[in-house]
Amino acid sequence: MKLFPRQSSVFVSGYTIDEIAHKLEAAIKPAKVKEDAFSEHWLLPARSLEQDYPFRGAIQEAGFRISRKVTYPESFMPVIDGKIESTSKGCILFIDYTLLKGTRFFMSVALVFSLILGLLLLFAEHNLWYFLASLGFVGLGYAVAWLNFQQKVKICKDLLEEVLEKEA
Percent of the chain with pLDDT over 70: 86
Predicted local distance difference test score (pLDDT) of residue 44: 43
Query: CA-to-CA distance for 69 and 77, rounded, in angstroms?
Result: 10
Query: CA-to-CA distance for 34 and 126, rounded, in angstroms?
Result: 55
- Residue 7 CB partners (closer than 8 Å, separation 6+): 78, 96, 97, 149, 150, 153
Predicted local distance difference test score (pLDDT) of residue 31: 60
Predicted local distance difference test score (pLDDT) of residue 34: 52
Total-model pTM: 0.80
Query: CA-to-CA distance for 46 and 95, rounded, in angstroms?
Result: 28
HSE value, Cβ hemisphere, 13 Å, CA-based, for 46: 6
Predicted local distance difference test score (pLDDT) of residue 153: 96
Query: CA-to-CA distance for 45 and 124, rounded, in angstroms?
Result: 57
* Cα 52 → chain centroid: 19
Report pLDDT digits (tens) over 68-111.
988 888 889 999 999 999 999 989 999 999 998 889 999 999 88
Q: Name residue 62's amino acid.
A: A
Which CA distances in Å does 114 have to 32, 75, 129, 144? 38, 20, 14, 15
Judged against a pLDDT cut of 50, whether residue 23 lies above it is answered with yes
